[in-house]
């Protein structure tokens, strides 16, 4: 292990690493991410980064919380980016740690563009997105030869917090599997639009809460009933919404629930 880590690139003072922490399970962190945690002078982290990952930092690393949660007081994106620039200019090794992947609905592109504009050296370390890892832990393949050869990833809200202005008709008609990030607030509107543009009311839907963590919960429903079932459950974000026939494979492939319960085999 040490031999592998010794070959990784140096974390230079005055630079920023934009690192994806993965969907929640600390074991899904990449080696690059692990090494960045060990070397960083300052860690600026998001709301969805768990304590078990934060505990991997060096003893002298300074932790700064910069979490953004819908409907709650949050730091502005410009303030976060300006803080990264200021820390780098102080000669710090700055780790910007984000849940999932920095470039998948994580505003990593915005931060990287600002760093580039201010001539701050940076490196991007991909992470396992919840839309990939979360589905795997829920027993739902993202693709399967008998169900789909295409997938659409959507954010459940735009920059203003409203339902995104995307081509719902063509998504409904053209994408066999739809994975929606941060869509719980608007799940009723989203499912209504998909049904309105021709998706079957009985099409299976899974809602995955706190994916890949010990608190993971999965609700399996239909487009018609998903919003009601989520409200009845009382479960809260973070959550992923998955629409498509691949959801029907969950009873056969739900390894994580069995593993968590100590059940051998599938």
Catalytic positions, written as ranges:
46, 68, 182
How far is it, in rounded angstroms, from Cα 52 to Cα 39? 17
Sheet holding 62-65: strands in order across? 62-65, 42-45, 94-98, 16-20, 122-125
244 vs 178: CA distance, rounded Å: 7
Cα-trace Rg, the chain = 20
Pairing verdict, β 152-155 and 122-125:
unpaired
Nearest 5°: the CA angle 138, 141, 142 is 110
SS3 195: helix
C-beta neighbour count of 173 within 10 angstroms:
12
Cα distances (Å, whole numbers) of residue 27 to 31, 41, 61, 128: 10, 23, 21, 11
d(CA 206, CA 23): 17
Cα-Cα-Cα-Cα dihedral sign, residues 81, 49, 69, 223 = positive
User: What is the bridge-based pairing of β-strands 217-222 and 204-209?
Assistant: antiparallel
């Amino acid at each position: 292990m040490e031999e592998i880590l010794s070959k990784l690139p140096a974390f230079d003072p005055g630079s920023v690493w934009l690192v994806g922490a993965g969907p929640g399970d600390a074991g899904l962190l990449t080696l690059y991410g692990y090494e960045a945690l060990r070397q960083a002078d300052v860690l600026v982290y998001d709301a969805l980064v768990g304590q078990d990952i934060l505990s991997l930092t060096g003893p002298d690393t300074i932790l700064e919380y910069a979490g953004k949660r819908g409907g709650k007081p949050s730091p502005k994106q410009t303030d976060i980016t300006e803080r990264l620039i200021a820390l780098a200019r102080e000669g710090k090794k700055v780790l910007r740690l984000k849940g999932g992947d920095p470039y998948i609905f994580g505003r990593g592109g915005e931060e990287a563009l600002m760093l580039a504009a201010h001539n701050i050296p940076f490196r991007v370390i991909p992470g396992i997105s919840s839309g990939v890892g979360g589905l795997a832990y829920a027993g739902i393949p993202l693709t399967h030869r008998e169900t789909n050869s295409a997938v659409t990833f959507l954010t459940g809200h735009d920059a203003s917090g409203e339902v995104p202005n995307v081509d719902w008709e063509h998504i409904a008609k053209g994408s066999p599997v739809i994975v929606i990030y941060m869509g719980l607030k608007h799940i009723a509107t989203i499912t209504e639009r998909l049904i309105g543009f021709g998706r079957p009311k009985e099409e299976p839907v899974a809602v995955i809460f706190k994916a890949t963590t010990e608190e993971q919960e999965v609700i399996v429903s239909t487009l018609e009933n998903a919003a009601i079932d989520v409200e009845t459950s009382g479960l809260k974000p973070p959550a992923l919404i998955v629409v498509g026939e691949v959801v029907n494979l969950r009873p056969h492939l739900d390894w994580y629930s069995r593993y968590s319960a100590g059940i051998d085999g599938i």
